[in-house]
């Protein structure tokens, strides 16, 4: 199956939630990029919306396709946020951060009245954790922080765990906020809420990629069409 077609179908279905005059959170990643491009086409046809991007990459794309941008520090709340995900379970719990944008994504999704997730069906899972959980940490002391993350993973039933620095071309990946990413290979996360709480308590952890209780709508994209699921 074509994952890209499925992503496009999910993104296209999300346009049904967009209304004239809305302030929109614009996600990051390939699926969210499809949404931004489709949104740009609607704007060219007269749709009046403004967007708050969740990354520098999305900011650039939105400007390129003609979606008006509002700086995040000028907004109170958002009407709708649309973003992709790396994993989605049956309770609409997510792993995000594969694109290293999880901090801004979580701030924007949390400020939106309605958070819609768009994902191709390969992202749907019974149990979170096959996708390595990204955790954003300060660059200072990241090896110490990674050790504490590893202990938290073990304490919350994640077996076969590794907590490793994300690198590209032999260098640490640096987020838009200037931080590093620790990718946690858990295989399965049996207690997502407990782990989320534990990670938040570690000094040096800026944010983690577990998005719990945030998504209200999940749009599952398939090669032929998309299914809208509501919580």
Question: Catalytic annotation on 162?
Answer: no
Decide: is 25 part of the binding site for ligand 5RP (CB under 6 A).
no
What are the backbone angles phi and psi of residue 103, rounded to the nearest 5°? -65, -55
Residues across the chain: 231
Q: Using the minimum distance from each CB to ligand 5RP, give the nearer residue, 125 or 151.
A: 125
Rule CB under 6 A: choose which of 29, 132, 204, 221 binds ligand 5RP.
Answer: 29
Rounded to the nearest whole angstrom, what is the least distance from the CB of residue 7 to ligand 5RP in the complex? 6
Question: In whole angstroms, how close is the CB of 100 to ligand 5RP at the nearest point?
Answer: 6
Distance CA 114, CA 109 (A): 8
> Tokens 């801004």 — which residue?
104
Distance in Å, CB of 98 to ligand 5RP, minimum: 3
From the number of C-beta atoms within 10 Å of its C-beta (0-12, 13-18, 19+), residue 23 rates as buried
Q: What is the closest distance, in whole angstroms, from the C-beta atom of residue 3 to ligand 5RP in the complex?
A: 8
Q: How far apart are CA 228 and CA 13, in angstroms?
A: 8
Burial group, residue 117, by CB count within 10 angstroms (0-12, 13-18, 19+): buried
* Contact window for ligand 5RP (CB under 6 A) among 21-29, 40-48, 137-145, 184-192: 21-29
Q: Which are the contacts of 157, defined by CB distance < 8 A and separation ≥ 6?
A: 189, 190, 191
Rounded (10°) angle between helices 30-44 and 56-65: 30
In terms of Cβ atoms closer than 10 Å to its own Cβ (0-12, 13-18, 19+), residue 77 is: exposed
CA contacts within 13 A on the Cβ side of 219: 27
Question: Residue 32 Cβ, how far from ligand 5RP at the closest point, in Å?
Answer: 6
Q: Which is nearer to ligand 5RP, 144 or 167 (CB)?
A: 167
Q: Within 13 A of 144's CA, how many CA atoms are on the CB side?
A: 7
| Binding string, residues 62-101; x marks residues near ligand 5RP by CB under 6 A | ---------------------xxxx---------xxxxxx
* Active-site pick, 105, 121, 136, 223: 105
Pick the closer one to ligand 5RP by CB: 25 or 84: 84
Among the residue ranges 23-31, 36-44, 67-75, 107-115, the one whose residues contact ligand 5RP (CB under 6 A): 23-31
Of 8-16, 30-38, 139-147, 156-164, which part binds ligand 5RP (CB under 6 A)? 30-38
Size of the site for ligand 5RP (CB under 6 A): 18
Residues known to be catalytic: 105
Binding site for ligand 5RP (CB under 6 A): 27-32, 83-86, 96-102, 105
């Amino acid at each position: 199956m074509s994952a890209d077609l499925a992503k496009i179908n999910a993104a296209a279905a999300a346009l049904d939630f967009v209304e004239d005059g809305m302030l929109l959170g614009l996600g990051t990643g390939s699926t969210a990029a499809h949404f931004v491009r489709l949104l740009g086409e609607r704007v060219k046809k007269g749709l009046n919306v403004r967007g708050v991007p969740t990354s520098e990459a999305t900011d650039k794309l939105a400007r390129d396709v003609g979606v008006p941008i509002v700086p995040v520090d000028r907004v109170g709340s958002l009407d709708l946020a649309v973003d992709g995900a790396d994993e989605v379970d049956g309770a609409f719990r997510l792993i995000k951060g594969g694109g290293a944008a999880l901090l801004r994504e979580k701030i924007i999704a949390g400020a939106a009245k309605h958070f819609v997730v768009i994902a191709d069906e390969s992202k749907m899972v019974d149990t979170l954790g096959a996708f390595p959980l990204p955790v954003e940490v300060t660059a200072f002391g990241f090896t110490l922080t990674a050790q504490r993350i590893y202990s938290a993973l073990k304490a919350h039933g994640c077996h076969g765990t590794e907590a490793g620095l994300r690198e590209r071309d032999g260098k640490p990946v640096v987020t838009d906020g200037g931080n590093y990413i620790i990718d946690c290979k858990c295989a399965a996360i049996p207690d997502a809420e407990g782990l989320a709480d534990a990670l938040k308590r570690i000094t040096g952890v800026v944010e983690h990629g577990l998005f719990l209780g945030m998504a209200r709508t999940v749009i599952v994209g398939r090669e032929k069409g998309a299914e809208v699921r509501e919580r």
